[in-house]
A and B are shown apart, each in its own frame.
Chain A
Amino acid sequence: QKEVEQNSGPLSVPEGAIASLNCTYSDRGSQSFFWYRQYSGKSPELIMSIYSNGDKEDGRFTAQLNKASQYVSLLIRDSQPSDSATYLCAGHNTNAGKSTFGDGTTLTVKP
């Protein structure tokens, strides 16, 4: 079992719809969670971080964390073609000093 698992996709949504990306993790030592966006041929860039249970909203993005279920999600509202990318979920274990990444979910937003 991978430490961080994501739906491999690809996920396709029409422009203006809500895109829902999911991630589960197995390391209970992970306390901080991150969503990175990676455009094809580019490096990952951070879009959301979440540290406590519940929802965190930033513009069109909402991250959700449920530590009891070991589940993290990212919702993208009013999806735009420019949101088309691969989204990487990562969990950080503070004691170990390192993050573990999922394999990513590729999102395509169709105009």
Chain B
Amino acid sequence: NAGVTQTPKFRILKIGQSMTLQCTQDMNHNYMYWYRQDPGMGLKLIYYSVGAGITDKGEVPNGYNVSRSTTEDFPLRLELAAPSQTSVYFCASSASSVSYEQYFGPGTRLTVT
């Protein structure tokens, strides 16, 4: 039982490049989330999903896209990377019927130069 896994751990992008951050959970959780965390700050919600085929915008969705074709996977797509997207990205999941405690992946540290 691996919990929530994220790849890659680190990435450096040039301005204008695109990439996909992968997130997979093996706990059969319906809810999945993408956050970004800037230095010294809390977590800002980018996108979330309450189940396969359903996604919704969070607090800071601009410049990102998501899809949720399966319960397990919730990839985050960055199009036309900008320096403002330099951050640490965390994926999380939670079970909806019991509690809303979130379990986090190890994070992806992204630098855009």
Contacts and interface: CB of A to CB of B under 8 A. Distances in A.
Interface of A: 4, 32, 34, 36, 42-46, 49, 88, 90, 92, 94, 97-104
Contacts of A88: 42-43
Given A43-B107, A44-B43, A88-B43, A99 B90 contact: no
Interface stretch (B16-24, B78-86, B95-103): B95-103
Contacts, number: 54
| Chain A binding surface, main DSSP class | strand
Question: Chain B CB within 10 Å — which of A32, A34, A99 has the most?
Answer: A99
A94 B104 contact: no
Most chain B CB atoms below 10 A, which of A4, A43, A92: A43
A103 B42 contact: yes
Given A88-B43, A103-B42, A43 B104 contact: yes
